[in-house]
Amino acid sequence: MAQSATLSFKWHDRFRHLAGLDQYFAMARGKDGIPALEMTKWFDTNYHYLVPEIAADAKPEANFADFLATVQRSQALLGERAVPIILSPVTLLRLSRLEGDLATHLENLLPLYRDLLDQLKAVGITEVQVHEPILVTSNAADLREAIAATYSQLAQIGVPIQLVTYFDDLGATYPWVMELPVAGISLDFTRGRNLALLQQHGFPSDKQLGVGIVDARNIWKIRPDSVLSTLETIQSITPNIRLHPSSSLQFVPYDATRETKLPEPLRNVLSFAQQKLDEIAILAQTLAGNDPSVRQACAKHSQLALVQTQWQTFEQFSPADKGVQTALKNLTINDFQRSLSYSLRLDKQLTLPVLPTTTIGSFPQTSEVRQLRVKYKRGELSEAEYQAAIDAQIAECIKLQEDIGIDVLVHGEFERTDMVEYFGQQLSGFAFTENGWVQSYGSRYVRPPIIYGDVVRPQPMTVREFQVAQALTEKPVKGMLTGPITILNWSFPRADLSRQEQAFQIALALREEVVDLEAAGAQVIQVDEPALREGLPLKLERWNEYLSWAVDAFRLATAIAQPHTQVHTHMCYCEFGDIIKDIERLDADVISIENSRSNNRTLQEVTKAGYSQQIGNGVYDIHSPVVPTTEQLAQQLQTGIMNLPLRQIWVNPDCGLKTRRWEEVIPSLKNMVEAAKIIREEANATKE
Ligand code: GLN
Ligand code: ZN
């Protein structure tokens, strides 16, 4: 966020002794035992920011020099079209961790914002965008006063303000937001109910409506028919409009024309940032004619007609898959329900010691492993050579787990680059870009797969590696899958099919994999869903609807498992308190969770809710290189026992080990198994 460079608070005590870049890096990464600021997702996007911490006595200071220099550079290039963008102090404060109340901090901040507007006015700026995304969240109602105060103060400066919202609709705030003293208001017409709100309440004639009409969160070209009809409806209500993307373009990659390896019919309907800007320009030209009939005629001859044809060609290129469509249509309630309830299937599942030990799936992805993949891709290794090398890694990993004495083993996931990409590459309906990077945080970028067609599993995806691993040991090896919600939430979804239908299609593919893993001898199958919570809508009232189909998708993927198969799931960094009923409804036999960072809070929430299935409350934080001692681990387990009956507890790290080094993993797991033994013996002793 640009304004963090221009506003400096006296940050929380722990950073006060640092200055300049030193302070900046300490806030981002931590330093000498000072924990970093928490990082969290920007609304429901996959972009992460550092949560500002503002102490009660914080006296914000401003230095707008850099910001103004940037603005002046843009003016030199764009003249009057240069519009500075400012995050509203209300959204800034609401997203920060505050000591003291928001109103007081706002009072301190507003003079600085006024000062900024004054300076912008002085350099000749004629409009400022103030972004207020907090308005679309469920908790915006109580911000009415703060927001009214903010805009009445900022309006006094005399620079016209465009108030910009995105990611969802204004909901109940719509009527009073319309009354704010701003020159224009921008709404997102690609998500939520803003069109209905506009139809219901109208739009003030003294303001300009900013129409977020091109979806800046997906990678698809517009559908000209539906976009033009929405625009006509909007114009019939308020003629004074401007067009723009639904939000910032930072959530999509740069330029779709660079994806030269994708099939042309697909590439032609992709729209990354560059294409979205073109779309805005084309739409604006089309709208320039005032008479709707002229507009229709124009549209026919314009580039929009070309887009229409491109979509038609695409539909022929990626036709609906009849098999999947029929399977989805014929689903019955039984397909979502395991054949026996948890209490009845429990006895049929494998017998394990109390406090069984396991890991979450991946083992270190060393440069040696990554090198194998690079060589295979370059053709320097044949498929057989590559697989043999992966199998050697699996063998080592199995031997290590046996030596350490782990009860339920994993094959180590050496063949997987990424838990979503690996599955996407084996399913039809997914495409992968070469340059489609989007920022996740700092200098970290991800390249999400694109779901473009019906999802079909042409052949087993994980069975070979499972078999290799299981053949090497008497102990049970977990079949390891990524769940439908995580695959969906970490991809760019289709725009022509609901997210629910896409999740169900993926679930059907995974369901076939579950059957194949069982046939290959898997007694335990883990289906990871770390992204379940990420898909939650911004508005609380829509949570139920999402959770209902998301949990159903997981059930569709796993309910086919026979009663004697133990189904695990894993979630990291997931607060459960408010969705515990939905977690229960997943009906997994075992869930492993992050617990060590949240100080056992997750475990307490689970306990309070009376969770009856088994739970692996991650005993140590895999994101830290520190090797936990046996004592620390035993202590962590003790907490577990205090909260839940022994027979419900599993012992495992809190996430996969792929980012760690062997030197850290081996002693940590040894200590973990040792700690489990100590607690088992103590428990036995107290029983006698
Ligand atoms: N099975 C995956 C792994 O161990 C789970 C990763 C995750 O939860 N993010 O890497
Ligand atoms: Zn995890």
* Per-residue three-class SS string for 295-327: HHHHHHHCHHHHHHHHHHHHHHHCCCCHHHHHH
Which H or E element spans position 28? helix 20-29
Q: What percent of the chain has pLDDT over 90?
A: 79
**What local confidence, expressed as pLDDT, does residue 12 receive?**
63
46 Cα–ligand 1 center, Å = 17
Atom 9 in ligand 1: residue holding the nearest Cα:
530
Q: What's the one-letter identity of residue 469?
A: A
CB 657 within 8 Å of CB 360: yes
Q: What is the 3-state secondary structure (H, E, C) of 74-141?
A: HHHHHHHHCCCEEECHHHHHHCCEECCCHHHHHHHHHHHHHHHHHHHHHCCCCCEEEECHHHHCHHHH
Query: Which of 17, 131, 411, 623 does the annotation list as catalytic?
Result: 623
**What local confidence, expressed as pLDDT, does residue 617 receive?**
86
Atom 5 in ligand 1: residue holding the nearest Cα:
656
570 Cα–ligand 2 center, Å = 6
Sign of the alpha-carbon torsion through 2, 3, 8, 9: negative
Q: Which of 360, 590, 659, 669 to mutate to test the pocket of ligand 1 (most atoms within 8 A of CB)?
A: 360
Task: Count CA within 13 A, CB hemisphere, residue 307.
Answer: 22
Cβ atoms within 10 Å of 589's Cβ, excluding its own: 21
Please determine, for residue 606, whether its predicted confidence score (pLDDT) is greater than 90: no
Question: Of 533, 500, 517, which Cα lies nearest the Cα of 567?
Answer: 517
Q: Which of 359, 409, 528, 574 to mutate to test the pocket of ligand 1 (most atoms within 8 A of CB)?
A: 528
What length is written for the chain?
A: 688
CA atoms of 444 and 440, how far apart (whole Å):
6
Locate the ligand 1 atom nearest the alpha carbon of residue 572 and give its number.
8
CA atoms of 373 and 67, how far apart (whole Å):
44
CB 57 within 8 Å of CB 4: no
Interval 502-515 mean pLDDT? 98
CA atoms of 302 and 292, how far apart (whole Å):
15
**What local confidence, expressed as pLDDT, does residue 358 receive?**
98
* Model pTM score: 0.93
Query: pLDDT tier at 294 (50, 70, 90 boundaries)?
Result: low
Our answer on whether the CB atom of 655 is closer than 6 Å to any ligand 1 atom is: yes
Our answer on whether the CB atom of 654 is closer than 6 Å to any ligand 1 atom is: no
CB 286 within 8 Å of CB 304: yes
Q: What is the mean pLDDT of the chain?
A: 93
CA atoms of 355 and 591, how far apart (whole Å):
14
Task: Count CA within 13 A, CB hemisphere, residue 277.
Answer: 10
The most confident of the ranges 280-284, 297-301, 390-394 is: 390-394
Cβ atoms within 10 Å of 266's Cβ, excluding its own: 18
Query: pLDDT tier at 10 (50, 70, 90 boundaries)?
Result: low
CB within 8 A of 85, min separation 6: which ones?
A: 2, 128, 129, 131, 164
553 Cα–ligand 1 center, Å = 19
Interval 50-67 mean pLDDT? 88
361 Cα–ligand 1 center, Å = 6
- The 10s digit of each residue's pLDDT in 462-474 is 999 999 999 999 9
Active site residue 623: yes
CB 120 within 8 Å of CB 76: no
CB within 8 A of 235, min separation 6: which ones?
A: 241, 287
Task: Count CA within 13 A, CB hemisphere, residue 34.
Answer: 19
